[in-house]
Amino acid sequence: MSSQVRLRLLPSDRCLYDEPIQVKVSHLRSRQVVTIKASSTDEKGVLFSSSATYRADGNGDIDLVRDASLSGSYVGVEPMGLLRTLKPNTLNTLFIKEEALEPHMVKFSVHDEEQDQILAEVTNERLLMADGVSRVSVKEGNFRGVLFTPPGTGPFPAVLDLSTIMSERRAALLANKGFVVLTLPVFQEKLGNLKMLHLDPFEEAIIFLLQQPKVGSKRIGIIARSKAADVALSLAAFVPGVEAVVWINGCSANTAFPLFYKKRQILPALKVDTKKFIPTQSGAVIAKYAMDDPLKEENRATVIPIEQANTNFLFVASEDDLNWDCNIYKMEMEERLKRHGKKNFESMCYPRAGHMLEPPYTPFCPSSVNMFVKMQIMWGGEPRAHAAAEVHLWKKIQEFLRSHVSCDPVQLTDLN
């Protein structure tokens, strides 16, 4: 490595996962062309990497906020492009970073390709938990999950974070913003053993969450995507205590498994026809048009009666979602609520975003295995537009939850 060339991450090498950084290189030769690389290994041991070529200015400086990439994983000015474009060394692989205690470690390095030399390197430590946030594993009654609590006395609003499989990332990041967050997997047992889904364990989780000493809200917010999003709608419609729901790229009907509550079936399952999957050259399939139409007469019983919910909704749909026809479901719910004289909803639509909307600066995933059909599925999205949607949505989610899941007295703390 060159002793002169300097690579800096500003404001610090250490930051929260959802915070941007400024990458700067100095002490290069005037107009020198170099390659800046990023690499990270996920929790499954999969290596993700990206690179971009830059030309230094007359002073030998490069600033990714100012300067355009000439070639590589992306072209143009994109300050966080190296993170967004991290790609796996195996096709159709999802970036796995779900455990909150360990940071996301990304190594940045500057290379002189002509000399085959590393000029400088630095590691970015991207924390999922801010200082003082507590993490406690929870196993109560019929549910298991993880509880994140901000520092301070509160009171704080309560949020239930539902994910298809166990994930701590979004919940930890919301706790950093001043929410008490309980994260649960929708499926508390192996899918192979599952014949039905029950709302009762989620009701237990809501009661548990509202009983936490730092919680000041009388009702909770829920955030969920995909299959978990229709579970969130069902909780709003049938279970007391839900003040707000953030529904992301889901369905307006109950999908996959019959839904039970209080020992009786409340909704049958909308089915998927795998014969309608569309194959692609990558080996992954497009599943967007394979779900049965919930508005057909024979499927209407699967539609979740959100019009009976005393809940505020934020509907979020990606127009380039290749897994669900979620924008159609969003519009159907909007129209249904309007017909019932309801104004308790907001909507967001992202034209070139795909299914996998995550907290900001997560590596973009075009395709990976779908746990239901055990096939490689295309998720959709134009990478740069998808990344911009994630940044915008993350702020919107926080604003929506702060606005509707209120405490008395209001004391919402942003730890950033």
3-class secondary structure per residue, the chain: CCCCCEEEEECCCEEECCCCCEEEEECCCCCCEEEEEEEEECCCCCEEEEEEEEECCCCCCEECCCCCECEECCCECCCCHHHHCCEECCCCCCCCCCCCCCCEEEEEEEEECCCCEEEEEEEEEEECCCCCCEEEEEEECCEEEEEEECCCCCCEEEEEEEECCCCCHHHHHHHHCCCEEEEEECCCCCHHHCCCEECHHHHHHHHHHHCCCCEEEEEEEEEEECHHHHHHHHHHHHCCCEEEEEEECCCCECECCCEEECCEEEECCECECHHHCEECCCCCEECCCCECCCCCHHHHHHECCHHHCCCEEEEEEECCCCCCCHHHHHHHHHHHHHHCCCCCEEEEEECCCCCCCCCCCCCCCCEEEECCCCEEEECCCCHHHHHHHHHHHHHHHHHHHHHHCCCCCCCCCCCC
CB burial class (10 A; 0-12, 13-18, 19+) of residue 112? middle
Q: Which residue in the list 39, 69, 109, 226 is annotated as catalytic? A: 226
Q: What are phi and psi of 398, to 5 degrees?
A: -65, -45
Q: Which residue in the list 104, 111, 355, 386 is annotated as catalytic? A: 355
Partners of 378 in the β-ladder? 367
Residues 6+ apart with CB under 8 A from 41: 47, 48, 105
- 355 included as an active-site residue: yes
Q: Which residue in the list 109, 321, 368, 386 is annotated as catalytic? A: 321
206 vs 241: CA distance, rounded Å: 7
- 112 included as an active-site residue: no
Catalytic (active-site) positions: 226, 321, 355
